[in-house]
Amino acid sequence: MGFLPDFDEDVFISYARNDDDAYPQENKGWVARLDEDIGRRVAVYLDGKKPLVWRDPDIRPNEDFDTKISRRLARTATLLSILSPSFLERPWCLRELEEFAAHAARTLGIHIDEEKSRIFKVEKVPVQRSQFPEPLRGTGTYRFYGPDPENPRKVHEFRPLINPDDARAYFKRVDDLAQDIAEVLKSMARKVSASPAAAAAPPLAVYLAETTADIDEEASQIRRELDARGYTVLPPGDLPSRAKDFREKVRDCLNNCVLSVHLIGRDYGFIPEGETEKSNEWLQSDLAIERSQTERVQLERSQTERVQLERSQAADFKRLIWMPIGLDPSDPRQKRFVQYLREDEAAHAGADVLETNLDDLKTALNDNLQAIRDRKQKKASPPPAAPAADDLTRIYILCDPLDLVSADLRALRRYLFSQGFECKLPAADDDEHEAPRRHSENLQDCDAFLIYYGLGSSKWFEAMLRDFWRFLSRRPKPVLAKAVYLAAPLSPAKEDIETLEAIVLRGADPFSPEALSPFLNKLRAPARGNNA
C-alpha cells in the first residue's frame, strides 16, 4: 500500500524506453536514476514515509494493456511523464497518459485544491508546448536540461555523473519536483480524510509570471518562498500556447491575485500562436498593466460613489519587475523589451522595477505582501476597543517545529514563566494557513522576541533574523528586547554568529538560566520605550 490508503501506488513514471539511456560512465539509465532520486527525496518531504514509485520496463507491444497497466493506473495517485520527442511518438506512452487522466477525473479529480495537478511532466529535452498532449497542458514543467557549456545556443540534458556542473542543477530540479509531488500526496490525504467544517479564509494569491529557462532557478526560489509563507501562486502550470487562450488564462489568474512578479532574463521566450511579435513575458507584462489600469479606474469610481465603503482587492494590486544585475539580453527583441521596462512610463506605473540581487527582490516581495495583508486585515476588522490595563510582558519564541518538543526549550520556557513572562510559540507547521497567520500576529502583538536556534537550518535562521528588521522596525508598538539564543546542537557556524539586530545568547547544555541574563536585564530596564 502506498502513502495514501485508498491507492496502491503513489507515483507512476511513464516514459519512452530509449530515454532510459546511459553513457559508459553511468551505472544506470537516465530514467532509472531519476526514479531512484525522486523516491528518496519525496520520502524526505513525507516525514520519512517512503512512497511507492513504479514504472514498467518490461512492457511488450503484444501485452494486454487492460490487464497489465490500466487497472494499476486506476490505483495510482500521481503520474510523472518523462517528456521528449520519443515520448510523443510512442502510442503506448500517450495511452498511459490518457488512461491515468480518465481514471483521475472519475476519482478525486485531476486537480487537488483547484490548482495542484496530479500529473507532472519532466522535460528531458526541449519540446514545443504546442505538441503537448491535452492532459499535459497547463501542468508545471520541470526542465532537466540547460545550455551546453561548449555551445550556449544548444542545450543538453543534465548528466550529473558525467558533468559535475550539471549536478547542482539536476538535484535542484529533483528537489523541486519531489516537494511538489509530496505536497499533492498530502493534499490528497487531507481531502480524503477531511470532515465537514467551516471554510477558512483563502490565502492571498500572487501571480508569478512565466519566464524563460535561463532563470528557472530564480523563479523556483521565489515560488518556494511564497509557498512556504502560505500564499497561493498562480498560474499553477504552463500557460496555453495559443494567444487567445493565453490571454484569457492570464487575465483569469491576475484577477485573483493581489500582486504580480515578473522575472526578466536574457532570452526572449516563446511567442504564442496568433501573436506576431510579443513573447510570453511581454504579453504577461502588458496584461498585468491592463489589470492595474482597469482597477485604478474602478477605485476612482468607488471613491467617488461610495467614498471608502468599498475598496476591493484591486486597490492593493502591485507589480514587481526584477532583472539581474548586468542583464545583457541575447536577442534584439529582448533588448527592446528590457529597454521598454527600464524607460517607459506605462511600464513603471504601479510597479517597482528592480535591477538587483534576488534577495532584494525577496525583501521587496515580502514587504509588499505584508503591507497588503495589513491593509486587508485592517479593513476587515472592526475598530478595536480600548485596551484594558495589561501588565503582562509577552515573549515570542521563534523556533523550528522540530524544537517544539525539545527538553531544553521546555526548561527555558518554564524559567521565563517563573520570572513572570508569558511565552508564545509558533503554530505547528502542519497547518499551512494557521502558521503564517499566527507568526504575523505574534510579531505584531508581543513585547519581546527570542529566536531559539536549535535544530533549525541556517536558511531558517536567516529568514527569522530578516523578519526582525522587516516587520519589527516599523511597528508602532515598541519592542522591549530582541535576542538570539544559540541552543544545542552547537556548531562552529553557530559560535561565529554575530549580529547587531539582537542580543546573542550562548546557551549551555543542559539549560542554564544565567545565559538569559542580558535579555532579561533589557526587559526589566526602566526605559521600556526603548526600541531594541
User: What is the domain-level CATH number for residue 423?
Assistant: 3.40.50.2300
Range 292-320 average pLDDT: 56
Question: What is each CA distance from 63 to 66, 75, 88, 92, 503, in whole angstroms?
Answer: 9, 19, 20, 11, 69
pLDDT of amino acid 139: 85
Number of domains the chain contains: 3
| Nearest-angstrom CA–CA distance, 51 and 11 | 8
Range 38-65 average pLDDT: 78
Out of 39-53, 145-159, 239-253, 271-285, least confident range = 145-159
Which residue segment(s) compose the domain that 134 sits in?
A: 9-197
Kindly give, in sequence order, each residue whose CB lies less than 8 Å from that of residue 408, ignoring residues fewer than 6 positions away.
Answer: 454, 487, 488, 507, 509, 510, 511
pLDDT digit string, tens, across residues 265-283: 999 999 999 999 999 999 9
Asked which of 162, 177, 197 is the last residue of a domain, the reply is: 197
**425/360 same-domain check:** no
- Predicted confidence band of residue 467 (pLDDT cuts 50, 70, 90): confident
**222/337 same-domain check:** yes
pLDDT at 63 over 60: no
pLDDT of amino acid 313: 41
**219/355 same-domain check:** yes
- Strand segments, DSSP code E, in 84-226 are 111-112, 116-117, 119-123, 141-143, 145-148, 151-157, 205-208
**483/455 same-domain check:** yes
Inside any domain, residue 484: yes
pLDDT at 340 over 90: yes
Higher pLDDT, 311 or 83: 83
- Predicted confidence band of residue 67 (pLDDT cuts 50, 70, 90): low
**287/372 same-domain check:** yes
**369/456 same-domain check:** no
Q: For residue 81, give the H/E element and its range.
A: strand 76-83
Average pLDDT of the residues of the chain? 84
Range 347-366 average pLDDT: 90
**67/171 same-domain check:** yes
3-state secondary structure string, 439-491? HHHHHHHCCEEEEEECCCCHHHHHHHHHHHHHHHCCCCCCCCEEEEEECCCCC
pLDDT at 185 over 90: yes
**44/186 same-domain check:** yes
Higher pLDDT, 180 or 299: 180
